[in-house]
């Protein structure tokens, strides 16, 4: 009797008997911690046993092959799960890849605070207990023009806290066109429900007027919520109420502006609602992200009137949503860049720099990648494509520019992508018509060289 691989049942049984024990194989994995070596040996042996039984090609190797597989599995287990990745997708604020890369100032700040103790909640001048908010609230006030400010762990948390503090147990009025779903399938109605507020919908999906809000207001109204349509746009027969008109209603306005457009003089940000405009209009609380277009670490920033922010600060939920010290260190550093560098922030912050990089710089980087890949014998060329802001921001913005396109050659595009994702460091690009595209917009010069080298190695 023969198997599908052409071997007989006795041959297959003999190969199974020749497999090393878990203890024997784990002892061969020198330099590997015992627990990791045992787990890797067990998995390598089981993989080989299954391949032999099925007659697959993977079961044809000897003990050296099993040992190589065991060592590969051990090395994989010893690598950190959270790793640096080369982003060649052209998606700037890539949620799956960690959103905004931090500027050098923020990196240094995080490293310094992570390395030891800090004055996180200690007033060095008075020698008494302090507030972690003191490190950023003054900067947020200065940059937004707000009376007071608060930082929590993310923007969804900021909206939840504002709704709970200003409308908990009462009605929260919102336009039907703004009942949006944000990342991770979290929906505005569900967030509001957790705040204890009762949602009062007004208007229609595409048109809401000031009169719709006015008719909904009453003794049970706690606040009005305006939510920016971050990751999509409604076009055509549409109408919405400006933040200035909403603030004229005389009730607390919670304005969720999403991605945090603080930079001025950046045309690419024109479709994002400016934080300063909402503050100047008189919104009680303006909520926005600390990462995404702001360019910092994950955080939810709240800027508004002193009375409204104090109610948020005093709410019990504020403790559960508080920002951690590493995010706080990065946030302070990024806010200082906005304050100290002004118009130069667009070059100092990676996210803004990627949004505004010129064609000449992108083309030079793409050409260097093409030449490096071509030197390895692969076919590569520079073509035109479009990048995106990502992160649920600026959905209509398309950033045209050159990319490096690579022919996978004798292997499939899926196989090439898999080799690159599992490399060190992992590289993620995008596919188009059978070619792998490496977008220079989301790579530094150094990273572009690493990406090209990774492709050349994977094709070999």
pLDDT digits (tens, 9 = 90+) for 164-213: 999 999 999 999 988 877 666 667 888 888 999 999 999 998 899 999 99
Please tell me the predicted confidence (pLDDT) of residue 392. Answer: 79
pLDDT above 80 (res 445): yes
Instruction: Kindly state the tokens that stand for 81.
Output: 């799960």
Instruction: Give the C-alpha distances (Å, rounded to integers) separating 140 from 48, 148, 287, 358, 404.
Output: 59, 8, 12, 30, 40
Calculate the average pLDDT of the chain.
92
What mean pLDDT is predicted for residues 141-170? 96
Q: Do residues 207 and 239 touch, judged by C-beta distance below 8 A? A: yes
Q: For the chain, which residues make up each domain, given as ranges? A: 9-78, 86-95+354-459, 104-348
Rounded mean pLDDT of 273-300? 95
Q: Which CATH architecture has domain 86-95+354-459?
A: Alpha-Beta Complex (3.90)
* Domain 104-348 class, CATH top level: alpha beta
Distances (CA, A) of 380 to 126, 318, 413, 434, 439: 63, 53, 14, 12, 13
CB 230 within 8 A of CB 182: yes
* Residue 280 reports pLDDT greater than 80: yes
162 and 309 Cβ atoms separated by less than 8 Å? no
Q: What is the pLDDT of residues 333-375, one digit of tens each?
A: 999 999 999 888 889 999 999 999 999 999 999 999 999 999 9
pLDDT of residue 9: 73
Measure Cα distances from 269 to 266, 330, 351 in Å.
6, 22, 11
Residue with tokens 């490496």: 438
- State the pLDDT at residue 442: 98
Statement: residue 7 has pLDDT above 60: no
Determine what percent of the chain is predicted with pLDDT higher than 70.
95
254 three-state secondary structure = strand
pLDDT bin (cut points 50, 70, 90) of residue 58 is low
Q: pLDDT class for 133, splitting at 50, 70, 90?
A: very high
How far apart are alpha carbons 309 and 312 in whole angstroms?
5
Residue 57 has pLDDT above 70, yes or no: no
d(CA 207, CA 175) in angstroms, rounded, equals 9
Q: Is 404 or 188 the better-scoring residue by pLDDT?
A: 404
């Amino acid at each position: 009797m023969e198997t599908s691989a052409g071997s007989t049942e006795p041959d297959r049984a003999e190969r199974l008997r020749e497999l090393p024990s878990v203890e024997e194989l784990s002892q061969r994995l020198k330099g590997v911690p015992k627990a990791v070596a045992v787990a890797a040996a067990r998995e390598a042996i089981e993989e080989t046993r299954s391949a032999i039984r099925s007659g697959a090609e993977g079961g044809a190797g000897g003990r050296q092959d099993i040992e190589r597989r065991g060592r590969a599995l051990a090395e994989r287990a010893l690598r950190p799960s959270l790793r640096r990745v080369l982003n060649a997708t052209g998606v700037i604020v890539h949620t799956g890849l960690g959103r905004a890369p931090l500027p050098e100032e923020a990196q240094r700040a995080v490293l310094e605070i992570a390395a030891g103790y800090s004055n996180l909640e200690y007033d060095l001048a008075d020698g008494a207990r302090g507030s972690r908010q003191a490190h950023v609230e003054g900067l947020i006030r200065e940059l937004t023009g707000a009376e007071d400010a608060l930082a929590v762990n993310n923007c969804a948390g900021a909206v939840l806290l504002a709704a709970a503090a200003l409308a908990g147990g009462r009605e929260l009025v919102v336009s039907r066109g703004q009942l949006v779903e944000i990342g991770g399938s979290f929906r505005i109605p569900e967030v509001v429900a957790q705040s204890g507020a009762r949602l009062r919908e007004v208007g229609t999906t595409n048109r809401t007027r000031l009169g719709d809000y006015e008719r909904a207001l009453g003794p049970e109204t706690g606040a009005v919520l305006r939510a920016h349509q971050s990751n999509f746009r409604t076009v055509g027969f549409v109408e919405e109420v400006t933040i200035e008109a909403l603030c004229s209603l005389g009730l607390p306005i919670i304005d969720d502006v999403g991605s945090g457009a603080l930079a001025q003089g950046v045309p690419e940000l024109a479709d994002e609602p400016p934080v300063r405009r909402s503050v100047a209009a008189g919104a009680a609380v303006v909520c926005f992200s600390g990462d995404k277009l702001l360019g910092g670490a994950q955080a939810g920033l709240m800027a508004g009137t002193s009375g409204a922010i104090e109610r948020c600060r005093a709410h019990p939920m504020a403790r559960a949503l508080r920002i951690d010290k590493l995010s706080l260190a990065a946030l302070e550093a990024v806010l200082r860049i906005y304050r100290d560098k002004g118009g130069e922030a667009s070059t100092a912050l990676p996210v803004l720099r990627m949004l505004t990089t010129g064609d000449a710089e992108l083309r030079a980087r793409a050409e260097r990648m093409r030449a490096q890949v071509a030197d390895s014998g692969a076919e590569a060329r520079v073509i035109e494509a479009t990048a995106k802001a990502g992160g649920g921001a600026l959905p209509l913005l398309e950033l045209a520019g050159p990319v490096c396109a690579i022919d996978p050659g004798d292997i499939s595009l899926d196989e090439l992508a898999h080799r690159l994702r599992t490399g060190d460091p992992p590289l993620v690009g995008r596919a188009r018509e059978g070619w792998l595209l490496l977008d220079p917009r989301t790579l530094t010069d150094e990273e572009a060289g690493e990406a090209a080298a990774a492709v050349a190695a994977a094709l070999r």
